[in-house]
Amino acid sequence: MGWAVVLGVPAACWIERSVLDKGGGLWHLGPPMSELPKAYEPQAVEAKWYAAWMDGKCFEADPASAKEGYSIVIPPPNVTGILHLGHVLNNALQDILARRARQQGKEVLWLPGTDHAGIATQTKVERQLRDEEGVGRRDVGREEFLKRVWQWKEKHGGIIIQQLKRLGCSCDWSRERFTMDAAYSKWVSQVFVDLFKQGLIHRGKRMVNWCPVSLTALSDEEVIMTPQRSKLYTMRYELADAAGEYIEISTTRPETLMGDTAVAVNPKDPRYVNHVGRKVKRPFPPAEIPIIADEHVDLAFGTGALKITPAHDKADFEIGVRHGLEIIDVLHPDGRIHCPACPDLDGLDRFVARKKAVAKLEAMGLLIKVEEYDNNVGFSERAHVPIEPRISMQWFLKYPCVQQAADAVANGDIKFRPERWAKTYAHWMENLQDWCISRQLWWGHQIPVWYRKDKFAALRDAESLDMHDLGAGDIHVGVDAPADAASWVRDEDVMDTWFSSWLWPFATMAEVGEESPTLRKFYPTCDLVTGPDIIFFWVARMIMAGFQFAGGVPFKNVYFTTIIRDLQGRKMSKSLGNSPDPIDLMEKYGADGLRFGLMRIAPVGSDVRFDETSVEEGRNFANKLYNACRFRQMAGEGNAGSLTLPERNTGVPPVREDSASRLSALETTGSKPVVHDRQDACPPVNPPISAGAGAGALQQDQLPPYHLDIIAKLDALAAGLEESYAEYRFGEIAQRLYEFLWSEFCDKFLEAVKLDLRESATPEARAATLGTFDAVMSRYLQLMSPYMPHITEELSARMGYVREGEYLMQQVLPATPLLTVDAAAAQARAAAIYEAAGRMRNLKAEYKMGSRKDVRFVIKSAPAWLADESKVLALLVGAAEIRLDSAYEAVKGTPAAVTPLGEVYMPLEGLIDVAAERVRLSKEIERIELEVKKCEGKLGNASFVERAPPEVVVQETARLAEWHTKLQQLGEMLAALT
RNA sequence: GCGCGGUUAGCUCAGUGGUAGAGCACCUCCCUGACACGGAGGGGGUCACAGGUUCGAACCCUGUAUCGCGCACCA
């Protein structure tokens, strides 16, 4: 029984069975089929192998291993997240790195997990609460609300983890972490306490970015500056001491004028030298406010006079502090106006109030003009509404280890790729502002600070009270609550989500205070793969935390991915609906196809425009690979033993029991293969074609040129990949893999050796060819494996390149080249033949015989060795015969070409029915003459030339020229026939 | 305003001083025993523009245009 029969069961069929029968039991063949499916069907194969890898614990990292460690921590996706193409790119890259490291014999830890995503998650659950129960979070209370969030997380959270598995990610899932895990939370508190004790964390009233929808403070990084088309209002305030005299002021925010406590001008402004120190009348609520002089005011902008609203603008606040101005807050936290003195505005939304305030000014005759104006407005990253600068009591962190962190990147201890991001990083590090780490949310790590109950109310009410005003006995900062908890009350705020994320590389590997073997083995991590958009949010902060808490850099290399855009160059986003669902793409093209397609385009250049056709290419490539192997199966067993059915179903696809014999296809028949221990650091997947095995073994120097050529090219591929990996050039790797398989292996080698697999071939030729195929393909599949893990595993198993119970993904890549002899001469011959074949096919096509098989060629002055290869050449060219004849005298007009193999002639006689061909040519000529007439008629028509668009005329002219050329060619061919 | 990146075939993109490339799309022929998710052949580019360096420039330098991104300002 041969392979064709075993593999005759459609993949999907036996996979289903194997899944159903997964506990063991006999595996039976379905109804016999004649052939493997022609097209590769990835879905079931991918699911099957992922399950097998998990069963085999292939992804689990052993800190006790003697092997060199290699580690990556995943950038934890939001627990609410749904997989998008950015995730796919990012995680496919990490998977490639992890799988490649395993092939290099390293002990690999790819540590996965999710992020609790404070605002995003809380918002989601709040919305659900509102939709389903019609209540807000305050209605249910903090404790109950948090219970709901956890419930939601257990039920819906982590969808993205399942999706990453679908993609084939080889994470050590036994170590999955969540930023709200108890152990992780302890780290967060501990870090807060430590930093507090060092005096780096403090609490105070400051101007922060306030999100009126989420009702929380945001860090500067969470504010997105967005260009807006706004209006610039110019109004006038009357001078208090000179009725009828005004000062003109421009503003974009008239709705905050109730909070104005001054008007500022530049001290150098000649227009206003006489104004400084006087007072103007604020229109509503009526008040007299001073005109002050401050350097900050730009003389050139607007009227040169600036209204100062210290409560609602960062710059105004600073001016207010400098001049000791009163701070009047006229906004509620949710963005509504708070101004009882103006009842008509009080309680209105800020944007509604703006219109009303303008109307009021106009009615009072104080509005001068309204202009269209483009400016930038800060938007909340999550809630997508304009933020409000707002003064509030918050916790701030002064960043630790800034200099060390900056130096680490500058001096190359941490290497950024592409390197240019180092500059962006350096710039940010030089301009650090304190980090506002408190958030007025419930979902997150609560600030580990307790206040004495009796003092707490005072703290809350007295807005000026700073934490540092509290006596040491009134505040407790610690990981655990104070002993007499009843008399304390905890700070209500939670921490910014990034305040937990920045600990990720080490907090996932060890508990607080734990002597962790994992940390010792795998920290610092080797590579971090992430998007440049979170270089400040996450990367920079992790580096600082690494120095502060883990004694050094958290990673050695950072690979910044590209941003995936749509074909119009827009960012992928849910609201635009331009983001294809990766799961759909995987259903359609397979995870391997998606991975490979993305790898070919995405990791190069800056941004990348995503086009589904690239995924289609990936799918097509997988199919090509599959069919190359299918070809091998159809060619039969060669000198290998016969097939038997696997006795047990292990959840792994059926593999020949004696698959080892395939591994030694060219070794002595009957010799027992060495069985490699799983722990063996370097088991060869497939021994190189033996150069010295026992009787019957083929020597490499006896192989035909095509064989040596492809072996040499495989070695070159392996070496090339080594270089590309060293430079993280993932697109280049994909391209090299693609070209080898398609252009070299399939288009050349496979075509050249087909004769060796025909019935008529000698057993030796057949054995040599199958052996070469297996040697090259087995190693190629291994090289391919990090990019397309599923199909390569499948094919390696089916082809018997990997023993039952073992996995390709665990095999170490052999360092030795396959080639053991000098192949330069053979490669030169192969190259000459391939090139000559191309030239000869050109000739055929030129004479419109591209698809005919009865063409005969004569080669004059051919090298002697070509005699052995002329049949192969004939096959490559698609010729009936290739004659080597040094004495050949070509008839005049015989088509000819110069090739590396000598002059090649393509005599036409006997090829075609001359009479019929003449008729055909004559008819063709007639047809074209007609076209020419049409063309000429058109171009001769004055009104066409004048009225038609110029490009159409040009096109028509070009067409005419083409017809003329063609006509001449056909004429020559006709002449050659007579 | 400062900085970074891009501009190469119809499209998406490679290409670090030596004859302009790939895939897709297009045209012609072919369902030939691995593959039509395929094979053979073909057309198509003033490498954004202008200077410069060089024997030689898509590539190095200078400037311009244009698109995108980041930072700062924005009354």
pLDDT at A463: 52
List, for residues A783-830, the tens digit of each pLDDT value: 999 999 999 999 999 888 998 889 999 999 998 899 989 989 999 999
ipTM score for this prediction? 0.94
Three-class secondary structure of residue A823 per DSSP: coil
How confident is the model over A248-271, as a mean pLDDT? 88
How confident is the model over A316-324, as a mean pLDDT? 86
pLDDT at A695: 29
> Tokens standing for A354?
């703006």
**Whether A851 CB is under 7 Å from strand B:** yes
**Whether A38 CB is under 7 Å from strand B:** yes
Instruction: Give strand B nucleotides closer than 7 A to any protein Cβ.
Output: 3-6, 11-15, 23-24, 28-30, 32-42, 67-68, 70-75
Residue A370 phi/psi, 5-degree rounding, is: -130, 125
Q: How far apart are CA A904 and CA A906, in angstroms?
A: 7
Three-class secondary structure of residue A228 per DSSP: strand
**Whether A315 CB is under 7 Å from strand B:** yes
Instruction: Specify the range with the lowest mean pLDDT, choosing from A24-28, A356-360, A454-458, A466-470.
Output: A24-28
Closest CA to A323 of A262, A260, A251, A274: A262
How confident is the model over A166-186, as a mean pLDDT? 95
pTM given for the model: 0.84
pLDDT at A942 over 70: no
A350, A631, A811 from A802: Cα distances, Å: 69, 19, 9
Do A935 and A966 form a contact (C-beta atoms < 8 A)?
no
pLDDT at A5 over 80: no
Distance of CA A386 to the CA centre of its chain: 30
CB < 7 Å to strand B — which of 356-375 in chain A? 373, 375
Give residue A939's pLDDT band: very low, low, confident or very high (50, 70, 90).
low
Most confident of A213-227, A689-703, A787-801: A787-801
**Whether A622 CB is under 7 Å from strand B:** yes
Q: How far apart are CA A208 and CA A510, in angstroms?
A: 34
Question: What integer best gives the mean pLDDT of chain A?
Answer: 81
* Of residues A730 and A466, more confidently modeled: A730
The CA dihedral of A849, A855, A860, A863, to the nearest 10 degrees, is 100
Conformation bin of residue A300: beta by default, left when phi > 0, alpha when psi is -120 to 50: alpha
Q: Residue A49: what residue type?
A: W
**Share above pLDDT 70 across residues of chain A, in percent, rounded to a whole number:** 81
Long-range contacts of A402-411 (CB under 8 A, 24+ apart): A402/A429, A402/A432, A402/A544, A404/A544, A404/A547, A405/A429, A405/A540, A405/A543, A405/A544, A405/A546, A405/A547, A406/A430, A408/A543, A408/A547, A408/A553, A409/A543
Q: Which residue has the tokens 């659950």?
A: A125
pLDDT at A456: 72
Do A712 and A827 form a contact (C-beta atoms < 8 A)?
yes
Nucleotide at minimal C1' distance from the A844 CA: B41
Do A257 and A318 form a contact (C-beta atoms < 8 A)?
no
How confident is the model over A193-219, as a mean pLDDT? 88
**Whether A49 CB is under 7 Å from strand B:** no
DSSP A571: B
pLDDT at A639: 37
pLDDT at A961 over 90: no
Three-class secondary structure of residue A150 per DSSP: helix
Instruction: Say how far A855 CA is from B32 C1', in Å.
Output: 14
Most confident of A337-351, A515-529, A838-852: A515-529
List, for residues A71-120, the tens digit of each pLDDT value: 999 999 989 888 888 889 999 999 999 999 999 999 999 999 999 988 88
> Tokens standing for A930?
């007609």
